[in-house]
Amino acid sequence: MRIGFFDSGIGGISVLNEAIKHFPTEDFLYYADKRNVPYGTKTKDEVNKHLQNAVEDILKEEVKALVIACNSATSISINELRAIYNIPIIEMESAAKPAIKLSSSMDKRVLVFATDLTLKELKYRKLITMLDKHSIVDSLPLPELVELCENLNFNWDELSTYFRAKLERFDLNQYGTIVLGCTHFPYYKPILKELLPSHIQLIDGSKGTIERLSILLKEKSLLSNNGTNNISFQCSSGDKKYIIKMENALNILQNGLNTLKRKYLK
């Protein structure tokens, strides 16, 4: 049986990409709620409703576990989903913990990029209150970046102007790590690496999430050894063009910085 991945759009493909590397003998179903993306600017009730509809759709297919590859949906709905559905549901890790550890060791601060919704939610605030003993964590909502990503916009000039304006009020020398707390953001790692001071490390939650998935599949004896990394892309709107966009998005992530630069950035 396949492993299911959910996101509002193409963001969760950054998590799927990590899973592909980790599980060479598994197959995957990736589902995007294209009809309702973005989630990060919606209300809690709206996200809960859309997510449950999407999960119902996904469960019409056979999946043995479901990764909610979306930080916004994780912060709003993970407990409700686990209470309703009887399959292993893996939440998106926030990456705040390793970032705080690393920044502390450098005597520097942490900056968290995420959607408005994630940053406002109790789940995130509770986690930061618990972990941020020395008040070194700051946050910055970047909702526009979800839209840029959904449009596969990798225009160098546009993006560098955008990031420079957003980061203007921060003294970046004070920061040791930036958390990419939305699964749409890792697409912009190559650009951020060029724009930010070189000592800043970019951390996202995909590795931690896939490690957690791996532990869970092992515990439940659900690992496959006869899959071939087959990926089936689906979306709530059934839009064929969007399926092609999802395949392109995976290519962009897998082709790395050089191809990205040649094709999209300059």
110 binds ligand DGL (CB under 6 A): no
Q: Which DSSP string corresponds to the chain?
A: -EEEEEESSSTTHHHHHHHHHH-TT--EEEEE-GGG---TTS-HHHHHHHHHHHHHHHTTS-EEEEEE--HHHHHHHHHHHHHH--S-EEPPP--HHHHHHHHHHTT-EEEEEE-HHHHHSHHHHHHHHHH-TT--EEEEE-HHHHHHHHTT---HHHHHHHHHHHHTTS-GGGEEEEEE-STTGGGGHHHHHHHS-TTPEEEESHHHHHHHHHHHHHHTT---SS----EEEEETT--HHHHHHHHHHHHHHHHHHHHHIIIII-
Q: Which is closer to ligand DGL, CB of 20 or CB of 119?
A: 119
From 58, 111, 182, 253, active-site residue: 182
Tell me if residue 182 is catalytic: yes
Least distance to ligand DGL, CB of residue 185, Å: 8
Applying CB under 6 A, what is the total number of residues that bind ligand DGL? Answer: 17
Question: Rule CB under 6 A: is residue 70 a binding residue for ligand DGL?
Answer: yes
Q: Which stretch binds ligand DGL (CB under 6 A): 37-45, 76-84, 220-228, 249-257?
A: 37-45
Could you say whether residue 18 binds ligand DGL (CB under 6 A)?
A: no
CB of 118 to ligand DGL, least distance (A): 6
Query: Under the criterion CB under 6 A, does residue 183 sit at the interface with ligand DGL?
Result: yes
Decide: is 206 part of the binding site for ligand DGL (CB under 6 A): no
Asked if residue 182 binds ligand DGL (CB under 6 A), the reply is yes
Determine, following the binding rule CB under 6 A, whether residue 184 of this chain makes contact with ligand DGL: yes
Task: Please identify which residue in 17, 94, 115, 177 interacts with ligand DGL, judged by CB under 6 A.
Answer: 115
Active site residue 149: no
Given the residues 70, 81, 92, 111, select the one marked as catalytic: 70
**Contact by Cβ (8 Å): 74, 68:** yes
Quote the least distance from Cβ 134 to ligand DGL, whole Å: 26
Q: Does 47 bind ligand DGL (CB under 6 A)?
A: no
- Upper half-sphere CA count for residue 143 (Cβ side, 13 Å): 11
Indicate the residue among 108 and 203 with the shorter CB distance to ligand DGL. Answer: 203
Q: Are 212 and 172 in contact (CB under 8 A)?
A: no
Residues labelled as active-site residues: 70, 182
Interacting residues toward ligand DGL by CB under 6 A: 7-9, 11, 37-40, 70-72, 115, 118, 146, 182-184
